[in-house]
Structure 1
Amino acid sequence: MDSLKEYLQSLESLVVRGEKRKYYRFRPAPFYGGIATADCVGCPLNCVFCWSSYPRKHPQTAGKWYTPQEVFDSLTDIAQKKGFSQVRVSGNEPTVGRTHLMQLLEKVRSSPFQFILETSGILLDREYVEFFSHIKNLHVRVSLKGTCEEEFAALTGRTPEGFRSQLRALQLLVEHEVSCHPAVMVSFSSNEGLRELKDRLSSISPRLYLEEEQVILYPQVKSQLQKAGFMIR
């Protein structure tokens, strides 16, 4: 994972500035029954099925700078206008820029909203998760990139061990009693691979619910998949 760490340092220099982080959009979204969403800029993975590829590929030009307070205010404004009880950071990878996310979560902590953190989990360590354990209105959705190490590498362009980092993140979340669940894109996986993944997740905790999702073929995503030679199951 050394090359990933090096890339992360370079990425953070483009999307993190002190307590500020880059975002490219604030919006209401229909998911989870309705949720206020802040779409952030910058991700250390290169998922072939990514629906938010422009800010991922062009972090130096995409988005604008926002403080945690500005992000919180924008999310709560949308939630209050729409009658939502949930807010989230989505788009690229929310856990890039640890100080920014922690400060944002501190503000959410004293609010009436549930915060859903959508993350690959590869940047989560014990210190990060320990902080999460104190935010009782936080739920973490760990988006697994495939069902195994080989699929992770093929789908993300990163080394296979990144998949084990995802599973370790889930282990830490469970150990620290942070509300969480894994999700996996099954469009590129076999039934056998899915069964084996469920066994691995059960060894972490038999109570983990696995969300199975299918790729949404937005025109841009379809083009990316065709160029990469992927077949959808």
Structure 2
Amino acid sequence: MINSFIDNMGYNPIELGKTIEKIILKEDHGIWLRKYYRFRGGKWYGGIATADCIGCNLRCKFCWAWRQRDYPERFGNFYSPEQVASKLIRIANEKSYKNIRISGGEPTLGFEHLIQVLENLKNYDMTFILETNGIYFGYYNELSPELSNFENVHVRVSIKGCTPEDFHSITGAKKEFFQVQINALKNLIDSNVRAHPAVMESFSEEESCKDLREKLGDIDSSLYENYEEEFVFLYPHVVEILRKNKIWPRKAFYPNNIPEKYI
């Protein structure tokens, strides 16, 4: 059923997202439960507690969580927003972290669940880093203002490639949704939500990435100043999917050789 959305012309991430949401979400008396497959600590951002969610509306050909992404019905269990928040806080307290996040899949699928998680976290002195592909924020203009109610949220919009052609090549999605990711940053900035772009440059030409950075700076100078380069990390399971998709990055790093600035 999920693969029926994908063809050579590209798929619509909004339609795919709606299909995935039917698998990964469950409503119980106004509380939205979502599937997660792991809760963990990690070295990123100087130390962060992470909840790895199931489900994404993109099909990136370099995704490190591709097994859970492609078979959402097989992995994970349903957790309430309160359970997710509790697990994140426990890990953060045990490790003395000041950062928490939802990763693995796309956190904005099941937006009601995300908001309920944030409600459970708003009284804690921690930064919630929302890692997103931005598709929902760029397509649904009404979502960004909802985040402005949470002062502890910072949004990291992971832009896939530096041109519409790059975007289609590495995600398989329709080219026009590249601009939707750009629109996400504008919507977030306009809603006074802290946000910055993290651009996957591994498959793009350097000049294209420079042009994109200038374009983002035209939206807001902070997007130019806080532009983050993102590259593929060649874990064994990532190498597996790259070979499966017959694609290889122009620039990437093996896990034992990741520069400190990308951690």
Classify the TM-score, shorter chain: over 0.9
The one-character-per-residue Cα deviations of 1:175-218 (angstroms, maximum 9, x if unpaired) are: 11111110012111111111111121011111211100221001
Structure 1 position 184 matched with structure 2 position 193: no
Q: Show the 5 A alignment for 1:89-128.
A: 89-124=102-137, 125-128=140-143
Scaled by the length of structure 1, what TM-score is found?
Answer: 0.97
Partner residue, 1:50:
63
**Structure 1 counterpart of 2:164, from 143, 149, 157:** 149
**Structure 1 counterpart of 2:76, from 63, 87, 103:** 63
Give the superposed CA RMSD.
1.3
Partner residue, 1:220:
237
Q: Give SS of 1:199's match.
A: helix
Which whole-Å CA distance do the structure 1 matches of 2:13 and 2:204 have between them? 24
Partner residue, 1:41:
54
Structure 1 position 199 matched with structure 2 position 214: yes
Which whole-Å CA distance do the structure 2 matches of 1:98 and 1:20 have between them? 11
Shift of 1:223: 2.0
Partner residue, 2:154:
139
The one-character-per-residue Cα deviations of 1:107-140 (angstroms, maximum 9, x if unpaired) are: 1112111100000000112221101011101000
Which whole-Å CA distance do the structure 2 matches of 1:186 and 1:10 have between them? 29
User: Which stretches in structure 1 are left out of the alignment for 5+ residues?
Assistant: none
Partner residue, 1:11:
20
Asked if 1 retains the 8 angstrom alpha-carbon contact of 2:23 and 2:72, the reply is: yes
Structure 1 position 161 matched with structure 2 position 171: no
- Percent of residue pairs identical: 42
Which whole-Å CA distance do the structure 2 matches of 1:122 and 1:212 have between them? 19
Shift of 1:2: 8.0
Asked if 1 retains the 8 angstrom alpha-carbon contact of 2:14 and 2:136, the reply is: no
How many residues are treated as equivalent by the alignment? 233
Which whole-Å CA distance do the structure 1 matches of 2:187 and 2:11 have between them? 21
Scaled by the length of structure 2, what TM-score is found?
Answer: 0.86
Partner residue, 1:81:
94
Partner residue, 2:4:
none
Which whole-Å CA distance do the structure 1 matches of 2:38 and 2:11 have between them? 31
Which whole-Å CA distance do the structure 1 matches of 2:15 and 2:213 have between them? 32
Which deviates more, 8-17 or 18-27?
8-17
Which whole-Å CA distance do the structure 2 matches of 1:66 and 1:178 have between them? 27
The residue identity in structure 1 corresponding to 2:161 is G
Which whole-Å CA distance do the structure 2 matches of 1:3 and 1:180 have between them? 25
Q: Give SS of 1:130's match.
A: helix
Shift of 1:106: 1.1
Partner residue, 2:253:
none
